[in-house]
């Protein structure tokens, strides 16, 4: 049974709004408004324990999931939400061994998710024009122990990714249409890509460019997620919800021009 070490990330959980992601070695005593929790005393314990603060409040000490980790990372910059990441993963089919290209790196949240899924034999190539952003992302990926599955590159993806035979691509930049050609050149024939754009205008312009570049199965979606407060006799949706994060556009490369002859009929 896996036990907590000083190096372990632990999720100290009270409810969805009150939770802390910390390591005993970084935060020996966790000070909260619910009291102090002695994290060093948890070392050697298995995950999943209930623990009591100095004020007598009961917290649960969970092993962080992938989602806990990436949502924590996301705080710094633009967020991609699990609802959106989930659809991307399923539609891109990213899994162990996949070689994926991504730009921009941002906080490394998407990078980390992709790295987590391609391990141990795959690789995520992530590009960002901003070296400082990427330094933060690199640290985040290291913390999650995923550095072996990520190749960080500082540079402008509009000039090309400089790699080929890629299984799937992710675009999360303000002007994704400028990178569509680079993406096309790097992806295997028929390989899928995804792009994340907050505005309708960006989605419109991106789709237009993807059509021009011969992409097939182009689709744009938006996903809304709403929490349900399920409790006996009082079940109802949550009063507030996220109204919008981004539009997700998908497509697959084709070998246009090549097959127009009459060999296949």
Site for its own copies in 211-250 (CB under 8 A): 216-217, 219-245, 247, 249
Q: Compare residues 134 and 141 and give the one whose CB is closer to its own copies.
A: 141
With CB under 8 A as the contact rule, the residue among 25, 31, 46, 139 that binds its own copies is 46
DSSP assignment string, 82-151: HHHHHHHHHHHT--TT-EEEEE--TTSHHHHHHHHHHTTT-EEEEEES-HHHHHHHHHHHHHTT-GGGEE
The DSSP bridge pattern shows strands 99-103 and 123-128 to be parallel
In the complex with its own copies, the residue whose CB is nearer, 28 or 82, is 82
Q: Shortest approach of its own copies to residue 83 CB, angstroms? A: 6
What is the smallest separation between the CB atom of 219 and its own copies, expressed in angstroms? 6
Q: Coil, strand or helix: which one is 3?
A: strand
Interface pick for its own copies out of 32, 60, 78, 147 (rule CB under 8 A)? 60
Q: Does 18 sit near its own copies (CB under 8 A)?
A: no
* CB 257 to its own copies: min, Å: 8
The C-alpha atoms of residue 176 and residue 239 are separated, in whole angstroms, by 34
- Minimum distance from CB of 55 to its own copies (Å)? 10
Q: Is 263 in the site for its own copies (CB under 8 A)?
A: yes
Q: Which is nearer to its own copies, 35 or 155 (CB)?
A: 35
Question: 132 or 260: whose CB is closer to its own copies?
Answer: 260
Q: What tokens appear for 186 in the block?
A: 């790097």
Residues 68-127 within binding reach of its own copies (CB under 8 A): 82-83, 85-93, 95-96, 113, 116-117, 119-120
Give the closest residue to 44 by CA, choosing from 92, 11, 85, 1: 1
For residue 207, what are its two tokens? Answer: 């789709």
The residues near 164 (Cβ < 8 Å, ≥ 6 apart) are 185, 186
């Amino acid at each position: 049974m896996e036990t907590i070490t000083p190096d372990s990330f632990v999720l100290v959980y009270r409810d969805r709004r009150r939770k802390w992601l910390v390591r005993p070695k970084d935060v020996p005593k966790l000070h909260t408004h619910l009291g102090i929790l002695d994290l060093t005393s948890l070392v050697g314990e298995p995950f999943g324990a209930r623990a009591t603060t100095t004020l007598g409040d009961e917290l649960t000490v969970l092993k962080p999931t992938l989602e806990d980790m990436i949502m924590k990372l996301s705080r710094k910059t633009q967020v991609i939400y699990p609802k959106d990441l989930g659809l991307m993963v399923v539609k891109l089919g990213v899994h162990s061994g996949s070689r994926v290209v991504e730009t921009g790196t941002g906080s490394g949240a998407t990078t980390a998710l992709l790295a987590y899924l391609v391990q141990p034999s795959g690789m995520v190539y992530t590009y960002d024009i901003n070296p400082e952003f990427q330094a933060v992302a690199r640290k985040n990926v290291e913390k999650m122990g995923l550095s072996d599955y990520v190749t960080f590159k500082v540079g402008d993806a509009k000039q090309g990714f400089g790699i080929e035979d890629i299984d799937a691509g992710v675009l999360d930049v303000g002007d994704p249409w400028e990178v569509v050609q680079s993406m096309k050149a790097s992806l295997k024939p028929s390989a899928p890509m995804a792009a994340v754009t907050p505005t309708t205008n960006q989605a419109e312009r991106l789709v237009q460019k993807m059509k021009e570049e011969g992409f097939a199965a182009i689709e744009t979606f938006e996903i809304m997620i709403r929490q349900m407060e399920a409790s006996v006799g009082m079940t109802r949706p949550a009063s507030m919800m996220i109204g919008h994060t981004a539009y997700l556009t998908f497509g697959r490369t084709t070998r246009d021009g090549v097959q127009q002859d009459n060999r296949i009929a």
